[in-house]
Amino acid sequence: MKAEKIQQLNPNVSVDCVIFGFDFEQLKVLLIEREGNFEDKSQRLALPGDLIFNSENLLSAAQRVLEELTGLKDIFLKQVGAFGEPDRISKETDKQWLRSIRANPDARVITIAYYSLVQITDYAPQANSFATSANWYDVREIEDLAFDHYSILRQALDQLRMELQSRPVGFNLMPPKFTLGQLQKMYEAILGKSLDKRNFRRKILKLDILAPLEEKQQEVSHKPAQYFMFNEENYNKLRESGFDNFGF
Amino acid sequence: MKAEKIQQLNPNVSVDCVIFGFDFEQLKVLLIEREGNFEDKSQRLALPGDLIFNSENLLSAAQRVLEELTGLKDIFLKQVGAFGEPDRISKETDKQWLRSIRANPDARVITIAYYSLVQITDYAPQANSFATSANWYDVREIEDLAFDHYSILRQALDQLRMELQSRPVGFNLMPPKFTLGQLQKMYEAILGKSLDKRNFRRKILKLDILAPLEEKQQEVSHKPAQYFMFNEENYNKLRESGFDNFGF
DNA sequence: GCAAAAGTGTTAACTGTACACCCATGA
DNA sequence: TCATGGGTGTACAGTTAACACTTTTGC
């Protein structure tokens, strides 16, 4: 590191990132595995997060920490909210772990959570810093996490579901070309319920944000599906304005 | 103050409260006026807010601070989010003011904003602490505030509008008995647009959360309106579940 | 009798939802 | 030929949105 102005960590404020991905089957979330002895595997897993520097804003801090811990760069993050019960760090294993990495392990910390959606295939997370690994986990299979991260995850998921009903956000999870069946599976994975195929297609197509490609699926053992891509212009327009009624 | 355990202020985390009220005409917000010399009146006005204690959770801190500054007690608050650009305290008048009241006036502060809705008639705000007065201001007339409070206010208002379309939240702003005309005015004040009377009534009544009273308006120089009150049971049910489609 | 807000229905367009069969492909 | 997911249309119910006149009261 060059002799830049000293980056001073703020002992009381951290950021945590809830990064969702989709593998055409299930909704996934990116978690880091921490060093140390944890009886329960769930306690070893945590959202990528760390203290902020005094000189950076919250969003940049979240982006920096995300990159440091997982290698993911330039991710669009959206704030979920602030979390910070005084007894947030009540689990003994978490206390021990903090003592091993922090200058001021007993400080009251409030954390600002952010969430994002990425295409899993675009990012190969790589652990750095105090994470021993960074991996995708099926959201449905997570029952607890370190600190209060489980409740942060739940709330981020709630917010994602809400957002999905008013904006075409979820499309971030899709690769550049995709089939309507894949898109529907994404909606189903996020909302946690199955949808009617015909109604889904009609509704999605009416938004006028998809453009069909010439290309079709190949080497699938069923009728090959049409590929689609986004009509970027209309897509962005709709992202800003939102739609009034888009409940499934 | 008794010899309780020492309450230690956290120098880096504050809370701010956006309290909305309705006077049957306009949407109001509760602001405190600060001591000191401010060229611009808008810079004298601020949201009620202050640093948190290390021992209290964020919500309790917001409730405590609100009571200290305005006398309002037991208000249900809802989190808007965290705000905290490093240059949040960029205005010279704000810096000076902080030096006059804070032990550590140059610390980086991030603030967690909360909002609420109250019946103006129920609360007579009384200034305390460093507020010289606490008063209701017409939201439409506010063009700027101290610190970054103006953008916090805008965001709280956006959230209130969104909430209003999915839950019967706004009803908190009404007194125990009210007319449908008054209720409609509240919706119009919050949403900032006028609504069709017949459609409004039909929609609201179908929610089945209002109960007509025997009583009618008196001494009004037009046809007296029926008074209504809430059907508490159905109202609470609907508050929890929300409604799918309630756009105006 | 006039001003002011209350109260009241209908229609047309649109939206949501439920539902079943044939098609193209690889194995 | 079978298994798999792709692709398609219709009918009914419910919801939205636009719109105008009569009523009751105080002055």
Q: Give the end of a domain, one of B135, B164, B193.
A: B164
> Which residues have CB under 8 Å from A122's CB, separation 6+?
A175
Residue in A9, A138, A148, A17 with CA at minimum distance from that of residue A73: A17
CA of A132 to C1' of D18 (A): 63
Quick one: pLDDT band at residue B124, thresholds 50, 70, 90?
confident
In angstroms, the Cα distances linking A165 to A87, A168, B84, B244, B245 are: 34, 8, 29, 10, 11
Residue B195 lies in a domain: yes
- Res. A196: pLDDT tops 80: yes
Q: What is the pLDDT of residues A85-135, one digit of tens each?
A: 888 877 889 999 999 999 999 899 999 999 999 988 888 888 777 777 899
Amino acid at A207: L
Q: Give the end of a domain, one of A109, A144, A164.
A: A164
pLDDT of residue B2: 44
pLDDT of residue A154: 98
pLDDT of residue B1: 45
Using CA atoms, how far apart are residues B123 and B73, in angstroms rounded to an integer?
A: 9
Residue A248 lies in a domain: no
pLDDT of residue B5: 55
Phi/psi at A21 (5° precision): -140, 170
pLDDT of residue A88: 80
Quick one: pLDDT band at residue B166, thresholds 50, 70, 90?
confident
Residue B3 lies in a domain: no
Contact, A53 CB vs strand C, < 7 Å: no
pLDDT top residue among B127 and B211: B211
Q: Assess whether B191 and B151 both reside in one domain.
A: no
In angstroms, the Cα distances linking B169 to A25, B9, B52, B184 are: 37, 33, 27, 14
- Res. B229: pLDDT tops 90: yes
Residue A139 lies in a domain: yes
Range of the domain at A133: 9-164
- Res. B245: pLDDT tops 70: no
pLDDT of residue A1: 45
pLDDT top residue among B35 and B191: B191
Q: Assess whether B154 and B84 both reside in one domain.
A: yes
Q: What is the pLDDT of residues A197-227, one digit of tens each?
A: 999 999 999 988 999 999 999 989 999 999 9
Residue B169 lies in a domain: no
Residue in B151, B152, B134, B144 with CA at minimum distance from that of residue B33: B134
Q: Assess whether B124 and B31 both reside in one domain.
A: yes
Q: Assess whether B20 and B67 both reside in one domain.
A: yes
Domain containing residue A188: CATH number: 1.10.10.10
As ranges, strand C nucleotides with an atom below 7 A of a protein CB are 3-10, 15-20, 23-27
Q: Which of A6, A57, A111, A163 to mutate to test the interface with B (most CBs of B within 10 A)?
A: A57
Residue A181 lies in a domain: yes
pLDDT of residue B3: 43
Q: Which residues of A touch B (CB under 8 A)?
A: 10-13, 54-58, 79, 81-82, 84-86, 108, 110, 112, 244-245, 247
Q: Determine whether B18 is exposed, middle or buried from the number of CB atoms within 10 Å of its CB (0-12, 13-18, 19+).
A: buried
Residue B2 lies in a domain: no
Q: Give the end of a domain, one of A113, A135, A164.
A: A164
CA of B225 to C1' of D18 (A): 25
Can you spell out the DSSP letters for A57-114? -HHHHHHHHHHHHH---S---EEEEEE--TTSS-SHHHHHHHHHH-SSTTS--EEEEE
